Structure formats: C-alpha cells, structure tokens
Amino acid sequence: MKRMEARTRCAASVAVVIALLGAGCSAGSDASRTTEPSDASGAWEAPSEPTTYSEQVDIGGRSLHMECWGDAVAGEPTVLLIAGQGPPLSYWAPMARQFAAESHHLCAYDRAGVGSSDPPPESSRTTADQVADLIALLDGARLEEPVVVVAHSRGSLPAVGLVAQAAERVAGIVLVDPHTPRLSTAQRAALPAESPDESPEVAEERRYLDEVMFDPAQDAEHLLLAECDEEIAALLDEPGPIFGELPVIVLESPPLPYLAGLPPEYHEVTLAAISDGHREFAAESTRGIVVAVDDTGHDIHVDRPDVVIDAIREVIAG
C-alpha cells in the first residue's frame, strides 16, 4: 500500500503501520468449516458467487462511490466497511465476497477524492468532515440501519466520530489494526533534538510529524491529519464510554522488528502508544476486547480475512 496509508504512524518504521502484540488470535478461526450437503447424496456445494452492485451516492452536490456484496438479510445488520487513508474500497473485495457468499450483506465506499468518489470541496478537512460525509452516505444509500462498522487503520477515526454523533445508527464495531489518535503526540515527544548528523530515518520521522501531518495538500482527501487526531482524542477524553454497550472488537497485528536508524527509545514509545491506544478503544465499550492476530501485516483483512470475518460474526451475534 502506498506509504502504508499515507504514513499512518503505527510503527517505528516510516513506511509502515503496525499494531502491538504478536500473541495468537484469541477469537476462534472458522476458515476450515464446510458448507452443508447440497442434496441427500452427500455432495458438497461451494458457496455461490454473491450479488455485487455499485452506485454513486449523492451526498449533497457531489457523490461517493459505494459497492455492495450480497443481499440485505432480514433481521441482520448490513456491514459497512470503512477504508483507511489512501486505498480504494477494492481492497475489501476478496474478504467481502467471501463473507457475502455465506448470505450476508456488506457495503464499502471510496472516501472523498479516492477511487471513483468526487474530490472534496474544501482545501482542508478533518474527521468532522469525514463523519458528515459518512452520515450523508448512510442517508443517500438507504442502507438498513443500524449497521456494523468495520474500519481499517485511519478509518477508525470517522468510525469513532460516527458513534459519538449518531450512536443509534451503529450496531457494533470491528476496528482492524486501527490508527490511534495519541500516537503522533507520543512520537513527537520521543524524537531526539534535531541534529545535522541525524539518521535519514529520524529525519523522515521528523518531516512526517512536523510537516506532513500539518499539510492537507499531501493527501487526496485534503485531511489535516494532526487536527483529525486531536478531534478524536478529545472525544476519547470525554466522560463515559463513547461506545457504551456496543460490542467492539479491536484486531491488532504483530509489531515489525526494530528499524535500524531510529533510537530504540523511540521504537519502544511507538509500540507502547499503539498498544495503549488499542486498549483505550476497547475500554470505550463495556463489551470491548482486543484480539492479537498472528501471521499478518497491517492489512489484516487481506492477510487473515478469516479473523476479520470471525470478528464480524461475533459482533453481529451481539
């Protein structure tokens, strides 16, 4: 993925986003299960290819591209997939088709300025603007609500903002290796004083933290990343759990090895901030848990779709 979602800082490396803990996944994997026999002869039938459709959803003078897999299921919430910063919705497609083939309904959308969605009208945007887009999408797409929100990386921020603003529209949440809004503050404080002979790795970290995060022109969605983080951190600081009694599962990937060129202390601060952030998200629900996932990178839904599907099943079950 290009600069691992335009440099979401969830690892010591300047080019990756990663979550802490390499322990085995505590949620059971269902990847080996089989379908029921198709007839009395005992022959096994693979799940059929699910219905797929797409549309441009008018959100008030511009449109967001949305694609859905499967048909709406009576009594079961639609799963709404929120991409991280940068990639189009297509990176959800393999997992979405797999789960939809089991008679579920999932929808994903391209964020403003990404994929087939119209560019944002503002030169600078924050999480509040993303949440406004998301609510307008739910209104325009006529999705059965409440929905189960599955958000990857920096997609966690509008997911939190949506619940804070319209909790009645959400049935549960799965956060896939989520970006944590306090990470950059911790990293900025841990950077050594600027030096003419500092390593290229430290110089790049400094450039990202002090320049890129404050320049919305660096991002197709025109996001002011520093303010996006501040908005969600402020919500997390408010009294009471944001998610209330909603079921919340936070999936985290293993950490990458230490990157030579960065101070070891900086690496440790980064990993601790990620781990603390994931647990903070889970603690914002009376039913929140963190699940460590093995054998994956940042894109858990690509590397381990079985784990993400199991988490969605658990949240749907309530």
Query: CA-based Rg of the chain, rounded to a whole angstrom?
Result: 20
**Residue ranges per structural domain of the chain:** 3-30+47-272+280-317
pLDDT digits (tens, 9 = 90+) for 195-238: 999 999 999 999 999 999 999 999 999 999 999 999 999 999 99
Cα torsion 23, 183, 130, 284: sign: positive
**pLDDT attached to residue 46:** 46
> pLDDT tens digits, the chain, 318 residues: what are they?
333 333 333 333 333 332 322 333 333 333 222 223 333 333 434 456 889 999 999 999 999 999 999 999 999 999 999 999 999 999 999 999 999 999 999 999 999 999 999 999 999 999 999 999 999 999 999 887 899 999 999 999 999 999 999 999 999 999 999 999 999 999 999 999 999 999 999 999 999 999 999 999 999 999 999 999 999 999 999 999 999 999 999 999 999 788 999 999 999 999 999 999 999 999 999 999 999 999 999 999 999 999 999 999 999 998
- 32 to each of 28, 37, 70, 104, 200, how far by Cα in Å? 11, 15, 22, 18, 45
- In this prediction the pTM is 0.85
List of residues 6+ apart from 19 with CB closer than 8 A: 10, 177, 178, 252, 253, 254, 255, 274, 275, 278, 298
pLDDT digits (tens, 9 = 90+) for 148-197: 999 999 999 999 999 999 999 999 999 999 999 999 999 999 999 999 99
3-state secondary structure 263-293: CHHHHHHHHHHHHHHHHHHHHCEEEEEEEEC
Given the structure tokens 């997911």, which residue do they identify? 159
| CATH level 2 (architecture), domain 3-30+47-272+280-317 | 3-Layer(aba) Sandwich (3.40)
